Amino acid sequence: QQPVQSPQAVILREGEDAVINCSSSKALYSVHWYRQKHGEAPVFLMILLKGGEQKGHEKISASFNEKKQQSSLYLTASQLSYSGTYFCGTGITGNQFYFGTGTSLTVIP
């Protein structure tokens, strides 16, 4: 029931774009996205509650395709500060929630 993320790891140069995908084998009703920097706690980025909903702030946005049971996180014009591990979290019922496998993102100058 753990959602699968792809890619597992990605290296970008500053200014490049990236997409991280999150797929579930179960029907979803919510998706969270978190970023965790090395040695720190995960930090909540955003939540999507409706199929087709897109959210974002600054240059990080996400979409949620309820039919395909997928979500994607879009990082535009990446900055060094975007480096970290990104996790999706999926709600499959009101009381069941699973974190994804994680995607390591490294932005280099």
Contact positions toward other proteins, by CB under 8 A? 2, 29-30, 32, 34, 40-44, 46-47, 49, 87, 89, 91, 94-102
Of the pair 16, 106, the CB lying nearest other proteins is at 106
Q: What is the DSSP string of 4-41?
A: EEE-SEEEEETT--EEEEEE-SS--SEEEEEEE-TTS-
Q: How far apart are CA 29 and CA 42, in angstroms?
A: 21
Of the pair 12, 46, the CB lying nearest other proteins is at 46
Query: How far apart are CB 8 and other proteins at their closest, in Å?
Result: 12
Query: How far apart are CB 15 and other proteins at their closest, in Å?
Result: 28
User: 69 — alpha (psi -120 to 50), left (phi > 0) or beta?
Assistant: left
Of the pair 16, 61, the CB lying nearest other proteins is at 61
